[in-house]
Amino acid sequence: MANIKMYQDDAKHLFENVGGYENIISFKHCMTRMRFTLRDWSKVNEQEIKSQKYCTGINKVESSNQYQVIIGMGVADFYKAFCEVNDYESDGVSRKNIDFKTKQKEDIAQIKAKWRVKGWGNKALSFISNVFSPIVYPLLGYGLILTIWSLLTVEWSGPASSAADSVHFFKWVVDILDILVGTFSLFITVVVSYTVFRAMNANGVYGIIIGVILTSKGLVEMGAVDVESGESILGNYPGFDITGNGNYYPWLINFNGLLIPMIVVAIFGVYMERWTDKIKNQTAKQIVAPVLIILVTYLFALFIIAPIGMLFTNYLSISINWLSTNYIAKYIALPIIAALYGPLVITGMHHSITPIILQGQATYGATIIQGFITISNISQGIATIAFTVLHKRVKELKNVGVSNGVSAIVGGITEPSLFTVNLKHLFPLIACSIGTACGTLLLVASNTYALQGASSIFGILMYQMQAPELTGVTTWIGGGYVWGILSILLSCGVTFIMTLILGKTKYFWNRSKDLLQEDYNVDINTLKIEMKVKKPKQQKVVK
């Protein structure tokens, strides 16, 4: 502050001799100079400026209309003093010439700052936005492609009854889409690793390398493991036999689709890069740093993060299979598990459900789990569409919201909905969980079972008319198709209403206001007021 005061008289002198407010368009500083953009150079008292001690020279760049006064290494403090004594903002905007519109923007910014989430909460929101914002539109394309794929592959009336099975041209289209679908899933996982590195100001190339390694063909995806009745996932998963005694550890777990575990691994990789940056010898650093970042991060993922996910999957399998068959627990546990399925998709651990479904289907012939997955996926799309309806004044939101919602409903692909709307704004995800729990409760009560297959609106075709004999229960009158559809409708209705209710609460409204302002540069409160002003008042008719 003392340095700034030292320059105050000089800053006032320079201001007056370059022409003041009337002549200064804008100004900034570099390492040693004050750089002015002026209206008329003839109004500058150049000799007077040169005679002062603060000025060590003048440079004029006519091509860019810059009049540069050389101050020296103290130019940063000189600039601050110039702004302070001449009534300029720190960005060079004159307070004297601020019009009403600019003042209004400043007032709005102050109000936003008052209500904005602060501290770690703000940092977490910013981190999530930086990680997932770059993949919003690729996710949109991914969802639309999967929707087409789902329409062509769903079995309408039993085995080999899909459009791809019936028409050769559609089979050819599906073969092409199979490559795109598999590649997109891989892309999303790898690119998340990249965006984490970039969000934390690290080298994104390391993120790509780590992502590719952890999704390589040498590792096995959870959904590809066959679990027979009475066996555990741990006993069937391939791994490294380090000791040579037949004890496999760590397991060869592929991270494809495991987004949250991948984010954790990528964050660890960033800190590894920061640690290696402390190596002072540049030659050693160039050789050792890449090896340490990639190798240590890979081992961390393989020995720590992957096993944690595997143990979670194993005990989840045991728990769900017991809870699905217990006559009392299933009415409480299954709706809760169904409510948590959406958040499970966010972590990528929903892939661990596949072996559980296969095991339950092998044991009983069908499973309730597949039924509530269909309910959850459709409800995610409904929550996104409800959010779009709530904020229908944000025109830019309609394309993203409706497209991603339809992708979830028709294609069963919820990631676009989750990462662009539901998770980001939170309350649509909560509303979906409530709706899914309600729909699943009806599904469980009616003893409606389903086969593994489509998890979208076409999942209705997977519901079974009667519960498998081995379960010892009977589906309510009307059959599984009727009660499956009613469960979906109940969940969708509750989800839609709860999204509107929660979205209008003060906390979530203000939270969405900040996020929509950041994403689309619109203020929903301003739009709401403008809509009321534009709406013509109805004249009372006097009879």
For residue 109, pLDDT beyond 70: no
Which helix (H) or strand (E) element contains residue 102? helix 100-115
For residue 310, pLDDT beyond 60: yes
Catalytic residue among 30, 432, 438, 492: 30
Task: Check if 492 is active-site.
Answer: no
Question: What is the Cα gyration radius of the chain?
Answer: 31
Taking CB atoms within 8 Å and a gap of at least 24, the contacts of 358-362 are: 358/226, 358/227, 358/452, 359/227, 359/228, 359/229, 359/231, 359/317, 359/321, 360/321, 360/324, 361/451, 361/452, 362/227, 362/228, 362/229
Tokens in use for 38? 């002026």
Banded pLDDT at 366 (limits 50, 70, 90): confident
**Residue written as tokens 């299933």?**
330
Banded pLDDT at 111 (limits 50, 70, 90): very low
pTM for the model stands at 0.55
CA dihedral 369, 374, 380, 381 (to 10 degrees): 180
Banded pLDDT at 115 (limits 50, 70, 90): very low
Alpha carbons within 13 A on the beta-carbon side of 534 = 7
Burial (Cβ within 10 Å: 0-12, 13-18, ≥19) of residue 441: buried
Number of helical H runs and strand E runs in the chain: 26, 4
Cα distance between residue 177 and residue 280, in whole Å: 50
How is the chain split into domains, by residue range? 1-94, 167-226+233-309, 329-522
Task: Return the closest-CA partner of residue 368 out of 297, 459, 303, 278.
Answer: 459
Average pLDDT estimate for 423-452 = 92
Lowest mean pLDDT of 9-18, 23-32, 92-101, 525-534, name the range: 92-101
Banded pLDDT at 515 (limits 50, 70, 90): confident
The CATH architecture one would assign to domain 1-94 is: 2-Layer Sandwich (3.30)
Alpha carbons within 13 A on the beta-carbon side of 214 = 38
Cα distance between residue 25 and residue 102, in whole Å: 17
Burial (Cβ within 10 Å: 0-12, 13-18, ≥19) of residue 90: exposed
Average pLDDT estimate for 301-314 = 80
Banded pLDDT at 103 (limits 50, 70, 90): very low
Q: What is the pLDDT of residue 214?
A: 92
- List the alpha helices (DSSP H) in 348-450: 353-364, 368-390, 395-406, 415-417, 423-425, 427-445
| Mean of all residue pLDDT scores within the chain | 80
**Residue written as tokens 């209206």?**
39
Q: What is the pLDDT of residue 439?
A: 96
Lowest mean pLDDT of 264-273, 342-351, 432-441, name the range: 342-351
- Tens of pLDDT, residues 126-136: 676 677 667 76
